[in-house]
Chains A and B, each alone.
Chain A
Amino acid sequence: MADSRDDFIIAIRYALLKKSAKQKFSLFFLIILSILTITLDKLSVPFVQSTRAVLNDFVYEVAVVASAPVKLVVHVIHKGGDHLNTVEKNKILIEEMDKLKYDHNKSLFYKTENKFLKKALNLGTTYNETSEDLLVVARIILDRNSPYLKSFLINKGRKSGVINGMTVFSKNYLIGTVIESNYLTARVLLVTDLNSKIPVILQGEGVNAILTGSGKESGLALEYLPDEFTLEPNTIIYSSGRDGFLASGLQVAETYLDKKNKIAIRPLADPRQALIVHVTTRGFNN
């Protein structure tokens, strides 16, 4: 009994402390170093934060270069497919453009009417496209497919005025918020992430709810809906501004019928298609 326990201890000690010919560090030393790194990262000591920002910038730049070959191959495949479908797509686009023109004119009318009514009712501020807040145009440089965090990296950081908490738009639709800003780069948490919670209001119904990410690429869910409330397809979901953080009236998501004929929710901004995003303070309730 005692012998087998000794063998076990010897084997563990051997695995932890023994260095083979080409090993510069022992396992024990590196495990301690890892624990120290995690602790310092958790404590957020100022010098660690700045070191992490520099490390982040360096690793992100290298990661961009490392991902370039695969990105090029995917780009070539996409471009090839696009060329083959050009004529058909063109027809669809012309039809869509006519429809959009009609919708645009209609929305201009609603916008004017809305402004007038809000003035009449003396309601608070909403998302104002013409305000002169900081607007930074950024390019998505990395989009790591991770089970833990649905996020992407943009090529603008504190140098360009990007700070934590700024809202990020893709084609005028809310896509996420900045959760980490380094000197040259920043990380954006997507609305589809499991950690994302946005107070929203449903088009037409005026029902309030919380829009949460599902952790999947395009899936979203609505929480705290009234009992026996049924969702209709093609309903636009707007931010309600009840959190006091985001402004009201930002278009976030829409409902649709999925392949199984069930009502699902998807973000209006497709994170998979986004390439250029707008980082701004204008979506705030400030």
Chain B
Amino acid sequence: MSSDNDRLMDCFATVFPGATREEIRTSKFEDLPGWDSLRGVTLLAVLDDEFGLQMDVTELMDLETFEALEGRLGDVRFSA
């Protein structure tokens, strides 16, 4: 796992302290323990702050899973 992906996992683990790393890796965002719109907005702010990754809630929900978000982060890094 790359350091970016480790950091991404840390972000999720901090925003969703009630979710295990396994749950984060395998669940859809909306099924994560503690998921609500406030946590969603907080996650978006953290992603922007940590990675410069700017998305809105719809884009995030379209990605559905942590794995897809990892891919999106990789694309952004690749094109930068």
Q: Do A and B bind each other?
A: no
